[in-house]
Amino acid sequence: MFPAGFDYHAPNSLAEAVQLMGNLGPDAKVLAGGHSLLPMMKLRFAQPSHLVDLRRIAELRGIRQVGDEIHIGAMTTEHELLHSPLLADKVPLLVEGAGWIADPQVRYKGTIGGDISHGDPGNDHPALMLALDASFVLRGAQGERTVKADGFFLGVYSTQLEPGEILTQVRVPIPAPGTGWSYQKLKRKTGDFATAAAAVLLQMKGGNVATVSIALTNAGPTALKASGAEASLLGKPLDEAALDEAARQAMAICEPTPDLRGDVAYKVAMAGEMTRRALQAAHARTGQA
């Protein structure tokens, strides 16, 4: 299948890209890794008149520590996340998450910015971003704004990005030392999207849950923050009863779409099971299990 015709633009700087997007209007789309956009264009689900390729823009790449945050350029690839010593040290949840995405070929081209901007509830970064309480820097002709991941994802393929705006950077607070982490994902085969997945960050104090963050992938029209499950755990030991209740609370917010990966009941049950497993794995990594 071939996409409809389009004009191709390859700016060398972010300023040039923002100006192009402003001038070209709503029929223009930015091209990052192309692993979601090009299939959609071939299927004619998307027919942009202009593609603005971000690949030449060096300032959109890279992973660096700035104070108590990690800043990641939107064009940083999944492969780069997976092999980043800085992330392995400071935000290992992101390394584990990147390892679950697609396959090495897709990870070599697919970008963190594209994964987030696409607004696909099956993508893994949205839930990772919710769990990490990340923020996104968005740049458009009107200027720059920073928005929280929580609230950014509005629906299937829908985010707070306005036409012409470019996601330039992802900002992730560095979890405190002793924070356990885990991303547990059920998928049918290598390269598949999640049937269901759960991201967890966890801190224990005196044998009880001190802080916990839980987010779900592919369990609804967007990534979901499992706030009820989080609240149910605070101040308690992470025993079987607590895990049961957290899984029950997580399942209660799920509204998955049935597809070849499973019907609604199966997907909801798997979201609960991934929550349970992620909590257990994160607990073991706190060093206080």
Binding stretches for ligand FAD (CB under 6 A): 29-37, 74, 101-102, 106, 110-111, 113-115, 117-118, 120, 123-125, 161, 166-167, 191, 193
Nearer to ligand FAD, 12 or 244 (CB): 12
Least separation in angstroms between residue 155's CB and ligand FAD is: 14
The whole-angstrom separation of Cα 84 and Cα 213 is 23
Token pair listed for 34: 């192309």
Least separation in angstroms between residue 119's CB and ligand FAD is: 8
Nearer to ligand FAD, 212 or 270 (CB): 270
Least separation in angstroms between residue 204's CB and ligand FAD is: 29
Least separation in angstroms between residue 130's CB and ligand FAD is: 14
Cα–Cα distances in Å, from 195 out to 92, 124, 185, 256, 263?
23, 11, 8, 9, 10
Residue nearest to ligand FAD (CB): 114
Nearer to ligand FAD, 125 or 283 (CB): 125
Task: Give me the residues paired with residue 166 across strands.
Answer: 139
With beta carbons less than 8 A apart as the criterion, state whether 200 and 275 touch.
yes
Least separation in angstroms between residue 247's CB and ligand FAD is: 23
Least separation in angstroms between residue 12's CB and ligand FAD is: 16
Nearer to ligand FAD, 199 or 281 (CB): 199
Residue 40 burial by CB count (10 A; 0-12/13-18/19+): exposed, middle or buried? middle
Nearer to ligand FAD, 70 or 74 (CB): 74
Nearer to ligand FAD, 110 or 175 (CB): 110
Least separation in angstroms between residue 202's CB and ligand FAD is: 23
In angstroms, how far is CA 222 from the centroid of its own chain? Answer: 10
Q: Give alpha helix (H) positions in the chain.
A: 14-24, 37-42, 78-82, 85-90, 92-99, 104-109, 112-117, 125-132, 227-233, 240-252, 264-285
Nearer to ligand FAD, 74 or 209 (CB): 74
The whole-angstrom separation of Cα 154 and Cα 162 is 12
End-to-end CA distance of the chain: 53
What are the residues whose beta carbons fall under 8 Å from the beta carbon of 181, sequence distance 6 or more?
Answer: 92, 93, 96, 175, 200, 201, 202, 282, 285
